[in-house]
C-alpha cells in the first residue's frame, strides 16, 4: 500500500564508465541509510571510449541487464541520478561580484566564455556559489561546470532507451566527493584518486567544493598488463598474482611482481606529483583557515585501489597521509557499520554509484 500511495519517486544511482555499468540503491533506516540494491555489468572495450558512447545499442542492453540482475531488492523504479564522464567535462572556480541571483546567472554565462574551451552554444553549463570556510568575502566564488551538448544528449538518449528517466546528471568527481568527504566539507585540501579499469581520475576537494579534476589513461589494467609482460604469462594469471601479492615484496614471487610493477608505479607516482604541483601552483581564493593550504590527505578508491600495499606505497613516496577511502562515511552511522555489507575491496569500486545514490535519496526526501 505504501508504494501505491507514494507520490515521491524512489531514485537509484547509475554509474556508466568505459569499463562497466554500476548500480546502487539506498533506503532510509531509522538513523542513516542502508544498502538496498547493488549490481555491476562489465562492458566490452570500445563500447565507450574516453567517455564517448560508440556503440549505443550494446550499451543500452548492458544497462538493462545490469538493472535486471541487481543483488538485494529488485529495482521498482525508473528514476536515477546518472554519471557523466569526467574526461569530457570542464570545471573551474571563478570569482564574481556580489550581485542579485538573476544578474549572476547572466554574468556567469558571459564569463564562462573565458574559461570553457567550448562554444557556449554547444555546451551545457551549470554553476553554484561556494561558501567560504572562513572570512567574509567581498566577492562570490562560483563553481562552473560544462559538458559538450552532444555528449550529454547521447547519454540521456541511451538512458531513456534503456527505460531510465534521469532526474539529474553530474560529473563522476562530484559523486566521488559526496561519497568520500565526510559531511561534504573539508577544512583542508584532500586529493581523491579513483583508480579504475581503464583510467584514473584525480580530484582535489577543499572547503565545500571541487577545486580541480584531471583524468589519465593509467589504470589497474596497466598494472596487470605489466605483470603479464614482464613474467611472460597471460592476463588471467597476472591478475591472480597481482591480487595475491600486491606490493608486499614477500618471497621470490612477491619480489618478481613488485619488480614487474615498478615502471608503471613510477609513472603513476609522477602523474600524481604533476597534478599536485599544478593544483598547488594554481590554487587561489579557497578561503580556508590559516595554514591549511596544500593537499594534506589522499583517499584512494575505485576497483584498483585495493591493491595491497598501494596506500602505504603512496604514503611513503609522497609523504602525504594516504588511505583507502570510506564510501560509507556519509551513509552508515558508526553504530551500524558492523552490518553485513559487501567487502571493502568490492564496494570501493561502487564509490561513484554510492555518491549518485546518496544524492538521489536526499533529493527524494526533500520533495514535498
Q: Does residue 2 carry a pLDDT above 60?
A: no
Q: What does residue 248 show for φ and ψ, rounded to 5 degrees?
A: -70, -30
For the chain, what is the radius of gyration of the CA atoms?
A: 21
CA distances from 74 to 66, 71, 120, 233 (A): 11, 8, 41, 40
Model pLDDT for residues 187-246, shown as the tens digit of each residue: 889 999 999 888 999 999 998 899 999 999 888 999 999 999 999 999 999 999 999 999
Q: Does residue 337 carry a pLDDT above 80?
A: no
Q: Does residue 298 carry a pLDDT above 50?
A: yes
Question: What's the pLDDT score for residue 285?
Answer: 63
What is the arithmetic mean of pLDDT over 362-368?
Answer: 63
Question: What's the pLDDT score for residue 288?
Answer: 61
> What is the rounded CA–CA span in Å between residue 97 and residue 107?
9
Q: What does residue 20 show for φ and ψ, rounded to 5 degrees?
A: -165, 165
- Please, what is the average pLDDT of the chain? 89
**pLDDT confidence tier of residue 365, bands split at 50, 70 and 90:** low
CA distances from 325 to 47, 302, 305 (A): 29, 9, 9
Q: Are 142 and 94 in contact (CB under 8 A)?
A: yes
Question: What's the pLDDT score for residue 81?
Answer: 97
Q: Does residue 4 carry a pLDDT above 50?
A: no
Q: Considering all CA atoms of the chain, what is the largest pairwise distance in Å, rounded to the nearest integer? A: 67
**pLDDT confidence tier of residue 80, bands split at 50, 70 and 90:** very high
In our burial notation (b when 16+ CB lie closer than 10 A, e otherwise), range 161-173 reads ebebebbebbbbb
Beta bridge partners of 144: 92, 127
Q: Which three cell numbers stand for residue 119?
A: 562554444
What is the arithmetic mean of pLDDT over 38-50?
Answer: 93
For a pLDDT cut of 90, what percent of the chain falls above it? 64
Model pLDDT for residues 244-284, shown as the tens digit of each residue: 999 988 999 999 999 999 999 999 999 999 999 998 887 76
What is the arithmetic mean of pLDDT over 67-85?
Answer: 95
Amino acid at each position: 500500500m505504501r508504494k501505491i500511495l507514494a507520490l515521491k519517486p524512489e531514485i537509484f544511482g547509475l554509474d556508466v564508465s568505459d569499463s562497466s555499468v554500476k548500480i546502487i540503491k539506498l533506503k532510509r533506516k531509522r538513523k542513516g541509510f542502508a544498502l538496498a540494491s547493488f549490481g555491476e555489468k562489465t562492458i566490452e572495450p570500445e563500447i565507450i571510449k574516453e567517455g564517448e558512447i560508440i556503440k549505443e545499442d550494446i550499451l543500452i542492453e548492458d544497462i538493462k541487464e545490469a538493472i535486471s540482475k541487481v543483488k538485494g531488492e529488485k529495482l521498482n523504479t525508473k528514476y536515477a541520478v546518472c554519471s557523466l564522464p569526467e574526461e569530457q567535462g570542464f570545471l573551474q572556480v571563478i570569482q564574481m561580484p556580489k550581485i542579485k541571483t538573476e544578474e549572476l546567472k547572466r554574468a556567469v554565462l558571459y564569463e564562462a566564455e573565458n574559461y570553457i574551451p567550448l562554444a557556449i552554444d554547444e555546451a551545457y553549463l551549470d554553476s553554484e556559489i561556494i561558501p567560504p570556510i572562513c572570512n567574509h568575502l567581498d566577492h562570490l566564488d562560483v563553481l562552473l561546470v560544462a559538458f559538450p551538448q552532444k555528449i550529454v544528449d547521447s547519454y540521456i538518449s541511451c538512458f531513456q532507451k534503456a527505460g531510465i528517466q534521469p532526474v539529474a546528471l553530474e560529473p563522476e568527481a562530484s559523486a566521488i566527493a559526496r561519497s568520500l568527504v565526510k559531511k561534504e566539507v573539508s577544512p583542508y585540501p584532500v586529493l581523491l584518486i579513483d583508480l579504475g579499469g581503464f583510467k584514473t581520475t584525480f580530484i582535489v576537494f577543499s572547503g565545500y567544493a571541487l577545486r580541480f579534476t584531471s583524468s589519465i589513461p593509467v589504470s589497474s589494467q596497466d598494472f596487470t598488463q605489466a605483470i603479464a609482460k614482464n613474467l611472460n604469462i597471460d592476463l588471467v594469471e597476472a591478475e591472480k598474482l597481482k591480487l595475491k601479492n600486491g606490493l608486499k615484496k614477500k618471497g621470490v614471487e612477491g619480489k618478481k611482481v613488485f619488480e614487474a610493477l615498478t615502471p608503471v608505479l613510477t609513472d603513476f607516482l609522477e602523474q600524481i606529483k604533476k597534478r599536485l604541483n599544478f593544483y598547488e601552483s594554481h590554487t587561489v581564493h579557497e578561503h580556508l583557515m590559516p595554514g591549511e593550504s596544500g593537499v594534506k590527505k589522499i583517499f584512494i578508491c575505485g576497483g584498483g585501489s585495493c591493491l595491497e600495499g598501494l596506500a602505504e606505497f603512496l604514503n611513503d613516496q609522497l609523504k602525504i597521509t594516504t588511505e583507502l577511502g570510506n564510501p560509507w562515511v556519509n551513509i552508515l552511522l558508526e553504530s551500524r557499520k558492523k552490518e553485513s555489507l559487501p567487502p571493502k575491496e568490492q564496494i570501493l569500486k561502487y564509490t561513484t554509484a554510492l555518491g549518485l545514490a546518496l544524492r538521489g535519496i536526499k533529493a527524494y526526501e526533500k520533495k514535498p
